[in-house]
């Protein structure tokens, strides 16, 4: 009997299959039916063995739908498992980890309680937006990074004197680590966002070291692409060569991919935490190592 059984939600089926293969685990697909009123009905395709169960499901849009399905799968898995490990490659609501304005609900605190209430033994996430969010989990929790996986991809590209760029100070450490692994330099842009309107402006001055170099804009996630677009437009004015975007989670909402390309980005490379055209980097090996 294998040590693990991997049960996938509908949002992470391909990644779940890859993870099961890496762990030499049983794979069980969960069938999903959405009723006309929006309710989800989930059925396991076969009965799990009495062993450790890994439930893998990203909670990208529709976030609430994928979240309730994840919790439902974990709850059912608990009827069979000696331990339930929740792997949430992309954790929705991770940006709501504190009260920025008076009266705001800290949704990550609510979600942490929900995962515990359905019987999650431990939880693994990939490049969560803020580590503050994991502090709300009163179960074993671990964040793993996809940066080494992304760097491996970029190391194979024929880049001209690459320079890693963080679009803001919040991503400085991420860019620093990316540059270190790629054996190159990095810079950080000065970004200012209006908390109420969401409008983003780049406040940085000119950077001479940008001229003629291929740039890699590194971020943890891209939603509408506003920050990346502003950064690209600014960098293009500094007479750089090509601009690439590397991110773990490519949500790419509201036509973001087209807008980013129109701003001058050559290629967007993301991981398969969220499946899509840009998800060219597989993180199953990184997740497998975190489980073992």
Whether residue 60 contacts residue 66, with contact meaning beta carbons closer than 8 Å, is answered with yes
Q: In sequence order, what are the beta bridge partners of 245? A: 217, 268
Q: Which residue of the set 191, 237, 259, 277 is catalytic?
A: 191
Q: CA–CA distance from 78 to each of 27, 51, 87, 206, 241 (Å)?
A: 16, 10, 15, 56, 53
Report CA-CA distances (Å) from 54 to 25, 58, 231: 10, 13, 39
DSSP states of 91-159: -TTTT-SS-SSTT---HHHHHHHHHHHTT-SEEEEES-S-GGGGGG-SSEEEEE--HHHHHHHHHTS--
- Specify whether 196 is catalytic: no
| Residue numbers annotated as active site | 191
């Amino acid at each position: 009997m294998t040590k693990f059984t991997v049960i996938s939600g509908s949002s992470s089926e391909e990644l779940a299959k890859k993870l099961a293969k890496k762990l030499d685990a049983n794979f069980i697909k969960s069938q999903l039916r959405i009723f006309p009123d929006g309710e989800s009905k989930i059925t396991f395709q076969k009965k799990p063995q009495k062993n450790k169960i890994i439930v893998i499901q990203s909670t990208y849009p529709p976030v609430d739908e994928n979240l309730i399905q994840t919790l439902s799968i974990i709850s059912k898995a608990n009827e069979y498992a000696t331990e339930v490990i929740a792997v949430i490659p992309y954790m929705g609501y991770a940006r709501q980890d504190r009260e920025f304005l008076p009266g705001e609900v800290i949704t990550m605190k609510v979600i942490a309680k929900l995962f515990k209430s359905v019987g999650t033994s431990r939880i693994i996430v990939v490049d969560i937006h803020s580590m503050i969010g994991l502090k709300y989990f009163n179960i074993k929790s671990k964040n793993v990074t996809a940066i080494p996986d992304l760097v491996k991809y970029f190391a194979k590209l024929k880049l001209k004197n690459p320079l890693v760029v963080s679009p803001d100070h919040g991503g400085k450490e991420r860019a620093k680590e990316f540059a270190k692994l790629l054996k190159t330099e990095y810079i950080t842009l000065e970004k200012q966002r209006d908390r109420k309107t969401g409008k983003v402006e780049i406040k940085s001055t000119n950077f001479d070291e940008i001229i003629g170099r291929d740039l890699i804009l590194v971020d943890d996630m891209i939603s509408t692409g506003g920050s990346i677009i502003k950064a690209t437009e600014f960098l293009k004015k500094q007479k750089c060569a090509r601009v690439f975007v590397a991110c773990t989670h490519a949500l790419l909402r509201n036509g973001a991919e087209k807008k980013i390309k129109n701003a001058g980005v050559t290629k967007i490379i993301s991981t398969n935490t969220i499946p899509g055209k840009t998800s060219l980097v597989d993180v199953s090996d990184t997740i497998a190592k975190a489980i073992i």
